[in-house]
Amino acid sequence: MSRRASTVLAPVRPSIKKPNTFYNYGALFLENKGTIARDHLASERTFLAWLRTSISLASIGVGLTQLLKLGEDSSNSPNIICVGKAMGLCFIALAAVTLAIGGFRYFTVQHMLTQNKFPASVGGICVVSLFAAVLSIATFAMVLRL
């Protein structure tokens, strides 16, 4: 019996063309070989998920601020309104950070995919999860005090 060496096919690096028109400024034209289109479209969907999360966090911030404004008639309303505004601002700031992480991640992945590499995401997800958990616990504690 003869043993044949197995051959592993390395991924082919896509040919990259940069358009000259203003309409396509910043875009890359890649040959659609293998999974190139699927990978880039998945990266775009991931960015849209980061954007959707950012919009949700900003909506929570605005909603929290407006909800705590409704209780202005109570005796400790200045404290509640002040804390509500601060927490709403923190949620909106977290939304901006989430959008920045998503945008940075999108362009990093786009660049790495043209080199047949793919970076694993850990840092951005941990940062957003940690701050969202802290803000959620703080909101829950504040609502319990009302």
Paired with 29 in beta bridges are: 17
10-45 tens-digit pLDDT: 455 656 666 566 555 566 666 667 777 788 888 899
Number of domains in the chain: 1
Question: Is this model's pTM higher than 0.85 or not?
Answer: no
Q: Does 113 reside within a domain?
A: yes
Indicate whether 54 pLDDT > 90: yes
In which domain, by residue range, is 136 found?
37-145
Determine which helix (DSSP H) or strand (DSSP E) holds 16, and give its type and residue range. Answer: strand 16-17
Q: Does 135 reside within a domain?
A: yes
Q: Does 31 reside within a domain?
A: no
Q: Does 13 reside within a domain?
A: no
Q: Does 19 reside within a domain?
A: no
Indicate whether 94 pLDDT > 80: yes
Output the CA angle 100-106-108, nearest 5 degrees: 100
